[in-house]
Homo-oligomer: A and B are copies of this chain.
């Protein structure tokens, strides 16, 4: 048994997430990963935007910053640049990160600034009641796409890679050990590390798409999220409708705050 209590803000529990919402599963995976890596709670800063997932800061007992919708990465950039010794963890939703926050997302990735971004992809705007997000798959229903969504979704992880991220992984809350492992790897990387986590929103996504039972959504993840070797052995046809998980990129690139540190050395800091 893992003792979550020392990491959480017990007084805020039970949390606001719906029954069967995957957000709590991610939070627990994060806590375990931080614990194993012995991340100092005083030096860890969680920054989130607005959304169900972005309520995570209320529940974890580290430094926490719940900012404006879509802007978590901008605030986090300020925090990290100002005090590089802090461990910055960004928690964001698919809407927060890839809709309104899309610009900060690609720029933080481009700069390769050291932070771990947990993108809770539940394919929907959960908090506001189920509108389309840029990750809602085509044909799926949402409160603003009641005839079925006509827009193609982002490949969010692919976008982060194209923008310059040095570590990108995709995982899901059914495969909860993999989820923890990906978070753990991301926390260990120096640079912009993204973990896209597929997670069920039975209330706002499931309900409109014949998956209002959280169990069904978990089964869907079990059956469709395919990692590593398995994925490679699938034919193009077999991949159809399936989602690749695991580490998608892991390269070394100059990191922003380190580069700035070099600049300061170069110009010579005067007292």
Contacts and interface: CB of A to CB of B under 8 A. Distances in A.
A147 B110 contact: no
A260 interface: yes
Nearest to A258: B150
From DSSP, what is the main secondary structure of chain A's interface residues?
A: helix
| Count class of interface residues, chain A | 20 to 34
B152 A253 contact: yes
Copies of this subunit:
2
A170 interface: no
A256 B150 CA distance: 8
B253 A159 contact: no
B102 A266 contact: no
A134 to B, nearest CB: 6
B150 A259 contact: yes
A78 interface: no
25 contacts: A101-B103, A102-B103, A102-B106, A102-B107, A103-B103, A106-B154, A107-B134, A110-B151, A110-B152, A110-B154, A111-B151, A111-B152, A147-B266, A147-B267, A150-B256, A150-B259, A150-B263, A152-B164, A154-B163, A154-B164, A155-B162, A158-B162, A159-B163, A161-B162, A162-B163
